[in-house]
Structure 1
Amino acid sequence: MNNNIFQEYAQAEQLLEQHDVMASPAELHGILCGLLCGGVAATGKQWLTEFNALVNDGLPMPAAVRGWLEQLFLATQAALNQQSGLELLLPDEDCPLDERLQSISEWVQAFLAGFAVMQQELNRASEELQEMIGDFSNITQLDDEFEEDEENETSYFVLYEHVKLGTMLAFEEFGNVLPQAEPSPTLH
């Protein structure tokens, strides 16, 4: 796999199929993002315990899949902490629109599951985030029967950006941002 883990959907699909993991890369990434945005510990392996409970009945993933997930977790965590650069792990734009819509719907549904495991206090969320969570719930109900045309491609792009924005907002409000390094005291 290359350095940009977010552009490796097809390779991730193959890895999951080889190891009989019955979830898509979109779903797994959605869960990771949901856990991170819900406040899972930024260090340690709490995320892996929570993840396995959601995906694999609490059982550990095969070693190769776990290694890939650890890379994906770290890359996602870094992107969220940088407040930019987050990409959703979805099929690329060469895939049919209905397939991409199905994947974004799966991603959002998985995000909501991961987020809910970590964050039961949505009443503390800003009105904007509560509205975004409502939007996410609506996205899970998307009809994936769309014509392949420019208008629907544009709508998909807007939807993708909206999901990224909602994810970043959730992370800002509830995620565990990695602490910044303390500046060294200046010696005179």
Structure 2
Amino acid sequence: MQELPTADEVAAASRELGLAASAAELHGALCGWLCGDGGDLADWPARVLADPSLPAPPPGSALDRLRQGSAARLDDGEFAFQLVLDDDDAPLHQRAQALFDWCRGFLGGFGLAAGASPPLSEEGAEALQDLGKLAGARVQDIDEDEEDESALSELEEFVRVATLLLHGDCVLGPRHRRRLN
């Protein structure tokens, strides 16, 4: 399976294409698009950022690898999906803000792909609401201690699982139903 690029590689590639999104927000938007059944498309930045003038990332570039690796991990069934966020050695407040940015990007991409009435289970609808709350959150007083570190890890895992749940509702479930018919 294609290795995902780092947040730094995604940020550099984003700047090269003139994109205004952070690495976390861009990955969130891509994952939202994929989870909303927007499709695994080479010209994904134009789609997820709703700007048809954006060029497709060059084959093999960090943004192309981000698309390929993310799509493969969402589809693999082994729960290998992971969020592209700042490195663990970045300050805790920076990593927390990146997670909130990821969620904000996810909601945008998901909304563009899935539309107003996606086929969500009750759990999926709750997960989407919770992602919305995280997307609107702001980093406040963080002590950079073990308790806050643990809380951020739990939030990251929740977002990862919520993403897989939404992908299951909107992509895998309909795909399996089509096979049965």
Cross-structure match for 2:13: 15
Cross-structure match for 2:29: 31
Give the distance between the partners of 2:154 and 2:143, measured in 1 at CA: 16
Give the TM-score, by structure 2 length: 0.83
Counterpart among 158, 162, 168 of residue 158 in structure 2 = 162
Cross-structure match for 1:90: 85
Give the distance between the partners of 2:59 and 2:11, measured in 1 at CA: 11
Q: Return 5+ residue gaps in structure 1 as ranges.
A: 181-188
Deviation, 1:143, is 2.7
The residue correspondences of 1:22-101 to structure 2 (distance < 5 A) are 22-42=20-40, 45=41, 48=43, 51-55=45-49, 57-61=51-55, 63-64=57-58, 67-83=61-77, 84-101=79-96
8 Å CA contact 1:136–1:163 kept in 2: the answer is: yes
Cross-structure match for 2:4: 5
The root-mean-square deviation of aligned C-alpha atoms, in Å, is 2.5
Q: Which amino acid aligns with 1:148?
A: E
Residues 170, 112 of structure 1: alpha-carbon distance in 2 compared, 3 angstrom cutoff: same
Q: Which amino acid aligns with 2:11?
A: E
Determine if the alignment matches structure 1 residue 150 to structure 2 residue 146: yes
8 Å CA contact 1:9–1:91 kept in 2: the answer is: yes
Cross-structure match for 1:119: 114
Q: Return 5+ residue gaps in structure 2 as ranges.
A: 177-181
Moved over 4 A (4+): 62-66
Q: Which amino acid aligns with 1:94?
A: D
Aligned length: 172
8 Å CA contact 1:109–1:140 kept in 2: the answer is: yes
Deviation, 1:66, is 8.7
Q: Which amino acid aligns with 2:165?
A: L
Determine if the alignment matches structure 1 residue 141 to structure 2 residue 136: yes
Deviation, 1:53, is 4.3
Moved more, 152-161 or 77-86: 77-86
Give the TM-score, by structure 1 length: 0.80
